[in-house]
Structure 1
């Protein structure tokens, strides 16, 4: 018998989306390369290598997000202390909605996520940079 969940992933995404800012793709495309805006790609590196990424985006895998945001963590990343606006994205906007909500709950501000993820970005003709595995 399948396990009965208290909440489905869809419910969690819907709840997160109700509490976070969502940036429409057309608006986000205009923000690429702008000072004070950092795109955070939370996909797995294999997805980046296969599908590319938004130019200039920083890859922060979902599994390390909280540790890299928290300035008291031994894994903290300086760029999260920059005061920039962070726009999180993934392939289809589920993981990024949850990641954005987590970042917001931790106190990282301002944060938003990309409507529709990289799939919608590509469909809208947004620029995509090739990502090579690190050697």
Structure 2
């Protein structure tokens, strides 16, 4: 039996890993937040796309009825979760499917520790800034 820590370690050994500095220095990177909605509700990396871990492969696969066109783009795509374990596993899975992706080492926690900007979701029913009201 393998532990989750072993699985993550094996995934990290074969995927591309980005740190926060590289992500900031690559403005065309497509940041994909794979955390669940409760985590994202506490804040997210501005401009990131939310793709919950449970739907990631289905949204990415162009032959899936659930495919999302945003994942057909050129990238580079950088996945992140809270601390980098789920995103390492997800990146390895997408790589196994033939997609070129990376993951953010340390995840959202590393982003916060580096004082990266954080955006908060607009509450349902609220009027977005700049919208007619």
Matches within 5 A, 1:1-135: 6-31=1-26, 34-35=27-28, 37-50=29-42, 52-109=43-100, 111-132=101-122, 134=124
Runs of 4+ in 1 over 4 A off after TM superposition: none
Go from structure 1 to structure 2 and tell me whether the alpha carbon gap of 1:134 and 1:64 turns closer, same or farther (over 3 Å shift).
farther
Tell me the TM-score normalised to structure 1 length.
0.88
Give me the TM-score of the superposition, normalised by structure 2. Answer: 0.89
Change (3 A) 1:55 1:49: same
Answer whether contact 1:69 1:80 (CA < 8 A) is retained: yes
Kindly report the root-mean-square deviation, in angstroms, between the aligned alpha carbons of the 2 structures: 1.2
Structure 1 residue 30: Cα displacement: 2.3
Q: Distance in 2 between matches of 1:47 and 1:40?
A: 14
1:19 alignment partner, SS class: coil
The structure with more helix, counted as a fraction of residues: 1
Q: CA deviation at 1:26?
A: 1.5
C-alpha spacing 1:121/1:80, structure 2 compared with 1 (3 Å) = same
